[in-house]
A and B are shown apart, each in its own frame.
Chain A
Amino acid sequence: MAKANVKEWLEVVRAPYPRLRRWRRRAFIYAAVVGPGLITATVNQDAGGIYTYSLAGAQFGYLLLWTVLPTAVALYITQEMAARLGAATGKGLSDLIREEFGFRVTFFLLAALLAVNLGNILAEFAGIAASMQLFGVSKYVTVPAAALLIWFVVLRGSHRTVERIFLVGCVFYLSYVVSAVLAEPDWYDAAYYTVRPTVEWNTSYLLLVVGLIGSTIAPWQFFYLQAGVVERNVPKARYWETRADVFAGTVSCAVIVASIIIACAASLHHAGVTNIADAAAAAHALRPLAGEYASLLFAVGLLMASLLAASIVPLSTAYVVCEGLGVEASLNRPFREAPFFYSLYTALIVVGAGLILLPRTPLIRIMVFSQVVNGFLLPVVLVFMLKLINRKDLMGEWRNSAAYNLIAWGTAALMIVLTLTLTYLALRGVPGLPVG
């Protein structure tokens, strides 16, 4: 009785009622947990990545399939740490870095991130242009249209809607799997070379090994993933859900990479087409060999991959930079309350798309610059993450165990060496190697 003190003529009436189960929103929350990990790992397969995998398949057939497993392990280890940092502290990566390492370090880190991500965005718009050119549409139509679409959807859609669009976008990556099946590969060989590492001591083979594993992780992924995990507010007790999400992302990433290599191995390599200029060229070359549909699916996959990455990277960059500098950043606030955030987001898209359209943009030089900055940024971010995740006051029981630390530091060291190698190669201008 809520009103025991109200006099008897003014009383609260309560009657017993048969028990009914209140519908719970839990189910929805569970469903929503499949999210940031899957998106991050999938979007990782952007235009540059797809080109590398195509090249690997075209030049060496199934031989390089063994790189998929170590790549997946590296991806899982590093992303799981980012997710755990987010789940345990409830803070974004740039927030944590600022709080623990100070303003100046954060500032330079964010400046570097901005440069690297701009290179990424540029590559994505190049991917959009190339894939649509396969359908005979000029880049002067597709790039501005894509830029507008991305800008509009992300700014106008609610967070949930946008994330759902992203998740649906991830489904399009399945087109690579279908492409692989349509190419009628030798599945026995594919399985065999996946588990049996083969090393050929020639430059182009080793270059591709470095490229395949070295370009697996990009700094923006950690920031994006951690922010996504924080946004979800999944309680620590249910961290396994987040871990499952990261794992699902890793598996899907591995499947996509393997599919692309297999598709190109079964068709291009089989027919002796070993030299392709970019991912779109791979799709084009597939047509006479694997059929109209395989080629079409490959192109659609490339388009969706580029579109997705082009929507996520600018948004994530704007968020992270604002967060680290302590400037208001939110899609839920009007422009006048977060002017810097909106301006930066818009500028990234405009510059990224604009540079593709300008006739004399030194694209290669920009990409090389972006890769060089990445060569500095990625090691710093990885080391910071490892330091943060081992802080007792921050992580408590969520720290790395000694064994995990061994694997994590080992992975980080390997990734750092590979990234620096890629940077060196980019500076030397080694041909035939994708940058970014």
Chain B
Amino acid sequence: MIHVTELLDASVYDAQGNYIGRVRELCLVPTEQTGRIARLVISRGRYQPLVARYDQVASAAPGVVRLNTGELQLDTYHPDESWLTVRKDLLDQQIIDLHGRKVVRVNDLDLVEQPINSHMELFVAKVDVGLGGALRRLFKGVVPPYVIRTLQKGLPTRSIPWEFVDLIEPDPKRRLKLRLPHDKLAQLHPADLADIIEELAPSEREAVIESLPEATAAEALGEVKDELQARILEELEPERAAGILEQMPPDEAANVFADLPADVATQVLEDMESSEADELTELLQFAADTAGGMMTPEVFASVESTTVAQVAGALRGAEVPVDSLDAIYLINNDNALVGAVPLGRLLLADSGAALGSLQAEQLIFADAQAHEKQVIELFDKYNLRSLPVVDAEQKLLGMITVDDIVSRLWQKQT
């Protein structure tokens, strides 16, 4: 194993042992193969720098790189945006540690050598974020490499395998050229993603959100602390922001949306699908600290005469996730709330039973204008998991679920 700091500024010799120059930069070409050191940029003082390809390297040791060709076979160096450079793009920059689920700063890279035919390929094995790497950076060029190697022996190593590293490229144009994979990032838990997003600078946040599928981005955004949510959407393209808002639960979306500046809000609303936009604007009519502002308009409602079998059939055909389903609300022909059937009763009932016969003895609901405090009191008093919300004419508008209550209480506390 060899460290990148030991290779940078190393002397380069050709096949005959003649000195060519010094290693100025190591480059990866992610579109060819991830992790391979594909190019070595060799500086020669005032002459134009040269580039050695990976198959022109014969051996690499601390401070010394030997090539298997002559100087004349090397190309001259022209900067290429699709190359990932070690010194500029990796060392000292922030990366996402997918395993530890946090943002860390790169101190050094650990390379492994793989002899292939007549050349030696170098692959990035690990990213060093610990004291060892820091020590090498500090003493490089001042203390001989073997002394550094002895010094770092006793130190605890902290490194991340290359496959668990996600690189953040804030520049959108360069992002396209590099085509870095982000599939593993999207598999992180939304709450972890949110923590990562909170730690990054705006341009990097944008890079991370851009790399996620819309649904994942929406979930992650929902977990980001409130005052940052609108800020993040503001930074995105309106179209992308609209897409993410559509994927969020309507009550959460309304909360974020209410914090957007007026001009951005209008723009985003125009880019949203009309049905989603309508839903959002209607939710926004309620103050955030009332039942109306807390509720989600997505509820399952039916009339008393519907049978259990019909409900089950309808639920199977529903495109909306039924994970949060807790009760079926009963309404009359005027859409007024008349009862509720807890999910448990539905499960145990005969398939032919009518919903009206299964309803809970007591119907508890909140007026859309009821204050947050009253809502929380209801949840506490009746041990609720969900609570229907109605308007002044008893018409069903939506429901509040217990997870909203928990997060509100938690936010108040912290």
Do A and B share a complex? yes
Residues of chain A having any CB pair with chain B under 8 Å: 1-7, 9-26, 29, 89-91, 98-99, 102-104, 106-107, 158, 230, 233, 235, 237, 325-326
The one of A7, A230, A325 that contacts B317, using a Cβ cutoff of 8 Å: A7
Question: What separation, in Å, do the CA atoms of A230 and B201 have in the docked complex?
Answer: 8
B171 CB → nearest A CB, Å: 8
Does B313 lie within 8 Å of A7, measured CB to CB? yes
A15-B391 contact in complex given A1-B275, A104-B138, C-beta closer than 8 Å: yes
Question: What separation, in Å, do the CA atoms of A2 and B391 have in the docked complex?
Answer: 19
Say yes or no for B77: interface residue by CB 8 A criterion: no
Question: What separation, in Å, do the CA atoms of A22 and B257 have in the docked complex?
Answer: 11
Say yes or no for B58: interface residue by CB 8 A criterion: no
Does A14 lie within 8 Å of B397, measured CB to CB? yes
Stretch at the interface among B113-121, B182-190, B284-292: B284-292
Does A6 lie within 8 Å of B320, measured CB to CB? yes
Q: Which residues of B contact A14 (CB under 8 A)?
A: 279, 282, 297, 397
Residues of chain B having any CB pair with chain A under 8 Å: 91-93, 104-105, 107, 129, 134, 137-138, 140, 200-204, 226-228, 231, 234-235, 250, 254, 258-259, 261, 275, 279, 282, 284-289, 292-293, 297-303, 306, 310-311, 313-315, 317-320, 328, 331, 335, 368, 391, 393, 395-397, 414
Q: Which residues of B contact A22 (CB under 8 A)?
A: 254, 258, 284-288, 293
Question: What separation, in Å, do the CA atoms of A2 and B299 have in the docked complex?
Answer: 9
Does B285 lie within 8 Å of A20, measured CB to CB? yes
Q: Which residues of B contact A107 (CB under 8 A)?
A: 134, 137-138
Task: Please name 18 pairs of A and B residues whose Cβ atoms are closer than 8 Å in the assembled complex, sorted by A.
Answer: A5-B319, A9-B306, A9-B310, A10-B310, A13-B301, A13-B335, A15-B397, A18-B285, A20-B286, A22-B287, A23-B289, A25-B226, A90-B202, A98-B105, A103-B92, A104-B140, A235-B234, A325-B134
The one of B107, B235, B368 that contacts A235, using a Cβ cutoff of 8 Å: B235
Does B318 lie within 8 Å of A103, measured CB to CB? no
| Closest Cβ neighbor of A97 among chain B residues | B92
A108 CB → nearest B CB, Å: 9
A20-B138 contact in complex given A5-B318, A99-B93, C-beta closer than 8 Å: no
| Closest Cβ neighbor of B310 among chain A residues | A9
Does A9 lie within 8 Å of B92, measured CB to CB? no
The one of A2, A19, A104, A233 that contacts B298, using a Cβ cutoff of 8 Å: A2
| Closest Cβ neighbor of A5 among chain B residues | B319
Question: What separation, in Å, do the CA atoms of A23 and B303 have in the docked complex?
Answer: 35
B220 CB → nearest A CB, Å: 17
A103-B137 contact in complex given A2-B297, A9-B302, A235-B235, C-beta closer than 8 Å: yes
Does A13 lie within 8 Å of B396, measured CB to CB? yes
Does B138 lie within 8 Å of A103, measured CB to CB? yes
Q: Considering the complex of A and B, which 8 residue pairs feature the smallest CB-CB distances, nearest first?
A: A90-B201, A326-B105, A10-B314, A103-B137, A90-B202, A13-B335, A7-B314, A13-B396
Q: Which residues of A contact B284 (CB under 8 A)?
A: 22
Does B301 lie within 8 Å of A12, measured CB to CB? yes
Question: What separation, in Å, do the CA atoms of A235 and B264 have in the docked complex?
Answer: 12
B279 CB → nearest A CB, Å: 6
A295 CB → nearest B CB, Å: 43
| Closest Cβ neighbor of A232 among chain B residues | B227
Q: Which residues of A contact B289 (CB under 8 A)?
A: 23
Does B317 lie within 8 Å of A158, measured CB to CB? no
Q: Which residues of A contact B293 (CB under 8 A)?
A: 22
The one of A1, A3, A21, A158 that contacts B318, using a Cβ cutoff of 8 Å: A3
A324 CB → nearest B CB, Å: 9
A24-B259 contact in complex given A1-B275, A2-B279, C-beta closer than 8 Å: yes
B182 CB → nearest A CB, Å: 20
A17-B138 contact in complex given A22-B287, A24-B258, A89-B201, C-beta closer than 8 Å: no
Q: Which residues of B contact A7 (CB under 8 A)?
A: 310, 313-314, 317
Question: What separation, in Å, do the CA atoms of A104 and B134 have in the docked complex?
Answer: 9
B302 CB → nearest A CB, Å: 5
A25-B275 contact in complex given A6-B317, A9-B310, A17-B285, C-beta closer than 8 Å: no
The one of B279, B300, B319 that contacts A10, using a Cβ cutoff of 8 Å: B300
Does B107 lie within 8 Å of A326, measured CB to CB? yes
| Closest Cβ neighbor of B235 among chain A residues | A235
Question: What separation, in Å, do the CA atoms of A308 and B49 have in the docked complex?
Answer: 54
Q: Which residues of B contact A233 (CB under 8 A)?
A: 202, 227-228, 231
A25-B138 contact in complex given A2-B279, A10-B311, A158-B414, C-beta closer than 8 Å: no
Known contacts A3-B298, A13-B395; 20 further A-B pairs (Cβ under 8 A): A2-B298, A5-B317, A7-B317, A9-B311, A10-B311, A10-B328, A12-B299, A13-B396, A13-B397, A14-B297, A17-B397, A19-B285, A24-B258, A25-B258, A99-B92, A103-B137, A104-B138, A230-B201, A233-B231, A326-B129
Q: Which residues of A contact B320 (CB under 8 A)?
A: 2-3, 6
Question: What separation, in Å, do the CA atoms of A406 and B227 have in the docked complex?
Answer: 38
Question: What separation, in Å, do the CA atoms of A14 and B289 have in the docked complex?
Answer: 20
Q: Which residues of B contact A12 (CB under 8 A)?
A: 297-301
